[in-house]
Amino acid sequence: MKTLEKTLNEINELDQKMMDKAQIRLDQLTKPQGSLGKLEEMAIKLAGIYGELFPELQNKVHIIMAGDHGVAEEGVSAYPQSVTTQMVHNFLANGAAINVLAEGSGAKLKIVDIGMIEDIDNDLLVKAKIKAGTENMTKGPAMTREEAVGALEVGIEQAKKAVEEGADIISTGEVGIANTTPSSAVLAVFTGLDLNKVVGKGTGLNEEGVKNKIDVIQRAIDYNKPDKEDALDVLASVGGLEIAGMAGVMLGAAAMKKAVVIDGLISAAAALTAYKLCPGVVKYLFPSHKSAEPGHIKIYEELNLEPYIDLQMRLGEGTGAVLALPFFDQAVNIIRDMATFEEAGVSKEND
């Protein structure tokens, strides 16, 4: 708990003076003011996070949290629970979508076992297991409060280690069969939104499967009665270990003044949890894509963020987050390398 409390206290405001400088420079560049839209907003926010007009973002690290879910036994996924382990093997063998997309975006992968049922003996896997999967949240809390704190602190430590090893920016991803179920539960508890408006197909459920998923989430919420004003209670009652781990990554990176990129629904549920623990963390968070999962955009709205791309993706793993990473390079390139009107001898708009 000490690590979590210390981290929450270390998350500070952005450098407003540097953000003002960034705005002034952007307005002097050879373009209509604001014409590069969200790239300009990104450049300003990055300046505030790093305290530099032209931050270096060369070293990109993508952290994947892997965990299993007891609620999988309620038939809320189209795939068996064993796929979690199989996919981690695939990550380690460099054969998954995230491997391909991360390489294309120049991001180094770090895969963390925070709560898989099975153990994998591979030196490339970070072994930080809190427990072998969560409990079935329809029959009791998914984890204890202490386990939730432990998982958050695993994420904090992984973010800290990544930064100490040179990470300039961190993106987040996950793997865990059935994890859209706790993610939707976390969203519903924090926001009070109707489950029918936020629960999606996940890995490909049919209509009956979605109805069952909604019923399972409602039963879990009714049984545990999580207190939406207590983020740790919500996380422990109906959350997931990888959700907690990613929330910890976000908090840890923010405390070390690094930008963090959100992925899809599960990563966004982690972001919402981190925000409920420390509202100031959102200043360090960036969206990426809009997932096909209906609850995803609802979380963005809660965080007052807007996705940069919409490719109708719903894979997870952090695939949308790594796809967005080149945008950050371009935002810095624009503010650093474009000429001003004065430098280029270009006339400004008429007064």
Counting residues of the chain whose pLDDT is more than 70, the rounded percentage is 100
- Report the side by side order of strands in the sheet with 259-261: 125-127, 107-115, 60-67, 169-175, 259-261, 285-286
pLDDT for 351 beyond 90: no
pLDDT tens digits, 174-183: 999 999 999 9
Could you read off the pLDDT of 44-79 as tens digits, one per residue? 999 999 999 999 999 999 999 999 999 999 999 999
Q: Percent of the chain beyond pLDDT 90? A: 97
Whether the full predicted model's pTM is greater than 0.95, yes or no, is: yes
pLDDT for residue 203: 82
347 has pLDDT over 90: no
Q: In this predicted model, what pLDDT tens digit does every residue of 150-170 receive, in sequence order?
A: 999 999 999 999 999 999 999
Q: What is the pLDDT of residue 1?
A: 81
Q: Where are the CATH 1.10.1610.10 domain residues in the chain?
A: 2-54+334-344
Position 16 pLDDT exceeds 60: yes
Instruction: Output Rg (C-alpha) for the chain, integer angstroms.
Output: 20
Would you identify the CATH topology of the domain 60-328?
Rossmann fold (3.40.50)
Backbone angles phi, psi at 172, to 5 degrees: -120, 145
Q: Tell me the pLDDT band of 98, cut-offs 50, 70 and 90.
A: very high
Q: Which two tokens stand for residue 204?
A: 């490909």
Q: Mind listing the pLDDT tens digit for each residue in 27-46?
A: 999 999 999 999 999 999 99
Q: How far apart are CA 200 and CA 81, in angstroms?
A: 19
Annotated catalytic residues are: 317
Q: What is the pLDDT of residue 184?
A: 97
- For residue 83, name the pLDDT band (cuts at 50, 70, 90): very high
Q: How far apart are the first and last CA of the chain?
A: 58
The helix-helix angle for 231-238 and 180-191 (nearest 10°) equals 150
Q: Taking all residues of the chain, what is their mean pLDDT, rounded to a whole number?
A: 97
SS (H, E, C) the chain: CHHHHHHHHCCCCCCHHHHHHHHHHHHHECCCCCCCHHHHHHHHHHHHHHCCCCCCCCCEEEEEEEECCHHHHHCCCCCCCCHHHHHHHHHHCCCCHHHHHHHHHCEEEEEEEEECCCCCCCCCEEECCCCCCCCCCCCCCCCCHHHHHHHHHHHHHHHHHHHHCCCCEEEEEEECCCCHHHHHHHHHHHHCCCHHHHCCCCCCCCHHHHHHHHHHHHHHHHHHCCCCCCHHHHHHHHCCHHHHHHHHHHHHHHHCCCEEECCCHHHHHHHHHHHHHCHHHHHHEECCECCCCHHHHHHHHHHCCCCCECCCCCCCCCHHHHHHHHHHHHHHHHHHHCCEHHHHCCCCCCC
Q: Where in the chain is the domain with CATH 3.40.50.10210?
A: 60-328
Digit-coded pLDDT (tens) for 199-250: 999 888 999 999 999 999 999 999 999 999 999 999 999 999 999 999 999 9
Given a cut of 70, is residue 129 above it in pLDDT? Answer: yes
Mind listing the pLDDT tens digit for each residue in 276-325? 999 999 999 999 999 999 999 999 999 999 999 999 999 999 999 999 99
Asked if 176 contacts 156 with a C-beta cutoff of 8 angstroms, the reply is: no
| pLDDT at residue 342, rounded to an integer | 92
Task: Report the pLDDT value the prediction gives residue 349, as an integer from 0 to 100.
Answer: 76
The confidence score (pLDDT) of residue 348 equals 82
CATH fold for the domain made of 2-54+334-344: 1.10.1610
**Mean predicted confidence (pLDDT) in 188-193:** 98
